[in-house]
Amino acid sequence: PFQIVCSNEIHIVNLQSKWNLISVPFNQSVPNDDIIVRYDGVDYSWENATTGNNPTGGSIVLRYIYYWNTSIPQHYDLSDVFEPGYGYWMYAYHDCELWSEDFGSTINDGYITDILTTWNLMGVPNDVPLPKEDLIVQYNGVDYSWENATTNNNPTGGPLIIRYIYYWNTITPQHYDLSDVFEPGYGYWMYAYQDCTLK
C-alpha cells in the first residue's frame, strides 16, 4: 500500500567520522538536547548518541561541542547550544547525520552574524549555498560588497576582512582548505581587520 510519511525534522548536516566544523543552516538556536543523531538509518536522542545507549556500545558523537570564544585572549570553549551564524567543532566516532525538530517558520532577515577584529568561526544560517562574492559586509552602518570589503576601496584605506575563507576538509588526512562558497551546515574561519556585520 501507498504510505505518506510526514516529518517534523530539519536536516542540519552530515558528519564524517573524526572532526567536523559545522553550523546550523537556519536562523534559530538549538540546544544540544534537541539534536537528533541519525546513525545507520535510526534516530537517537543526544543523550543516547553521546553515551553507550545505542547499538555501537559507545558514543556515536562526542558529547562536547566547541566554539571559538572571541573574548581576549581568544580561545575554545564548550557550548550546549548551537547559535545561528556561528561555527562549532564536533567530533563523530561514526559517519552520521544531525537533525533538529522543525521550528515551523524561521526568519531569514539577511543577517548572518557579527564578526570581531581578528579570527572568527562562523556559519551561514541559510539552507542554500552562498557564494562569497554575494556576501555583504556592513561597517559603521554602511554596506560593502565582497570586492570593496576585501580591498582598500572603503573608508579605512585597507581591507575590512581577509579575502580568504577557510573550511575544514574532512577527507583523510583532514585539513584546512579554501572555499569560495559558504555551504549550509558547515562552519568557516574568517579574519576581520574591523568589527563588522555579515549579511
d(CA 117, CA 193): 5
What local confidence, expressed as pLDDT, does residue 155 receive? 93
What local confidence, expressed as pLDDT, does residue 84 receive? 97
What local confidence, expressed as pLDDT, does residue 101 receive? 84
Task: State the virtual CA torsion across 19, 187, 120, 26 in degrees, nearest 10.
Answer: -140
Q: Which residues contact 6 (CB under 8 A, 6 or more apart)?
A: none
Q: State which amino acid sits at residue 58.
A: G
Beta-strand runs (E) in the chain: 9-15, 18-22, 30-31, 35-39, 42-45, 65-69, 75-79, 81-82, 88-92, 96-101, 113-115, 118-123, 130-131, 137-139, 142-144, 165-169, 175-179, 181-182, 187-192, 196-198
For the beta sheet containing 175-179, the strands, ordered from the edge strand earlier in sequence to the opposite edge, are: 118-123, 187-192, 165-169, 175-179
CB 123 within 8 A of CB 85: yes
Grid cell 552574524 is found at 113
Grid cell 558514543 is found at 59
Sign of the four-CA dihedral 127, 128, 132, 136: negative
d(CA 137, CA 139): 6
d(CA 171, CA 144): 34
3-state secondary structure of 177: strand
CB 125 within 8 A of CB 112: yes
* Domain residue limits, the chain: 10-101, 113-198
pLDDT in tens, the chain (199 residues): 555 545 578 999 999 999 999 999 999 999 999 999 999 999 999 999 999 899 999 999 999 999 999 988 999 999 999 999 999 999 999 999 999 987 666 667 889 999 999 999 999 999 999 999 999 999 999 999 999 999 999 999 999 999 999 999 999 899 999 999 999 999 999 999 999 999 9
d(CA 57, CA 25): 30
